[in-house]
Amino acid sequence: MSLDAIVSIAGGWQSEGKKVVLTNGVFDILHVGHVAVLEAAAAQGDKLVVAVNADASVKHLGKGDARPYNHEEDRAKLLAALRCVDAVVLFEEDTPLKVVQALRPDVLVKGGDYDPQITDPTDVQYIVGSAEVRASGGSVVAVPLVPGRSTTTLVERIQGQA
């Protein structure tokens, strides 16, 4: 969906008293670690919106020249097919800040490699959009990661490096 469409739909959910949760990521090779984070994020509210880095955005993250392995539309469709996901939006920017500001979620969720207590935006564990969500009365949550389940670990295993 477009950002405008998601903002409209989420506004309707919120006007019905539903708690809207937002999380974001690349989700390049979908694995059980992703699903665990998404399910934990969904449990924080009533409706889960997932913001996905578009291909151009992934290129800026320094994940390697070959990344993403899966096209943005494929990644978005896979996520949208998950039972715990209610809506998916792609974003072109380096961070999801524009999505956070437009959507104004009740809860912002990231995996446990981020720290909701960090307020310094230059810290690698800072959750982008956390200040904005808190300023509008929302909460910021980090959910546990599944040990040993990451795209990097999976790629290393496929390439025979792990």
- In this prediction, residue 161 carries a pLDDT of 61
Structural domain tally of the chain?
1
Per-residue pLDDT for 114 more than 90? no
Alpha carbon distance 41, 45 (integer Å): 8
DSSP 15-52: HTTPPEEEEEE---S--HHHHHHHHHHHTTSSEEEEEE
Q: The domain spanning residue 15 has which CATH number?
A: 3.40.50.620
User: Angle CA(87)–CA(88)–CA(91) in degrees, nearest 5?
Assistant: 145
Q: Which domain holds residue 112?
A: 3-158
Mean pLDDT of the 55-77 span: 86
Per-residue pLDDT for 130 more than 80? yes
Confidence of residue 150 (pLDDT cuts 50, 70, 90): low
Whole-model pTM: value is 0.91
Q: Around Cβ 6, how many Cβ atoms within 10 Å?
A: 22
CA 43 to chain centre: 14
Alpha carbon distance 87, 107 (integer Å): 15
Mean pLDDT of the 30-57 span: 95
